[in-house]
Amino acid sequence: MTAFMHDVARAALPVAIGLLTCAAAAAAVLWTRFDDTQAQRLARQYLEALSTWCLVALATHTLALGAAGEASVLSLVLPLALGAAAVLLRTAIESGTRPAAAEPVKRRAATPPDATHAPPAAPAAAHPAAPLWADPADDESATRSGLWSRA
């Protein structure tokens, strides 16, 4: 059991570091007010989850170190520092950028919808009472476009 917990502790730390790196990237997008509204929305949406899962991975690492009998003051310094960074990222974003992050959404809602993004019109049926498989043969010669077209 000790060897298993050692392996769990070794595997959880890189995961926590990766999650913290992704959370820091999301925070950087919000702090720099990146021009892309989709990037702003995604960063705002996933920052909390990334920092939470980072804390979960750090807790797993710390508990596995304790269960393996390898916990010492030096081995707990890195997880505690990473956990503090995850908490600081989360609290700094929640307190600092909420009002500014809501501003691009207001601009987007005030603009009229673009006609190019309208849903495509449904094709008119040749015979409304005919079954779906009763399409005329001349539709086969129509040029197809899309993923499965052979054009």
Structure tokens at 129: 């009472």
At residue 138, the pLDDT reads: 52
Q: Does 47 map to a domain?
A: yes
CA triple 64-69-71, angle to 5 deg: 70
Is residue 141 a part of any domain in this protein?
no
Q: Which domain holds residue 82?
A: 2-110
Residue 140 falls inside a structural domain = no
Band of residue 102 on the pLDDT scale cut at 50, 70, 90? very low
- Averaged pLDDT for residues 97-106: 45
Would you say residue 100 has pLDDT above 70? no
Cβ partners under 8 Å of residue 6, min gap 6: 64, 68, 70
Nearest by Cα to 54 from 84, 91, 95: 84
pTM above 0.75, yes or no: no
Can you say how many angstroms the Cα of residue 8 is from the centroid of all Cα atoms in its chain? 25
Domain count, the chain: 1
Q: How far is CA 136 from CA 126, 140, 144, 149, in A?
A: 8, 8, 16, 19
The answer to whether residue 132 is domain-embedded is no
Three-class DSSP category at 35: coil
Assigned domain for 124 exists: no
In the chain, % of residues over pLDDT 90: 32
Is 125 inside any structural domain? no
> Is the pLDDT assigned to residue 117 strictly greater than 70?
no
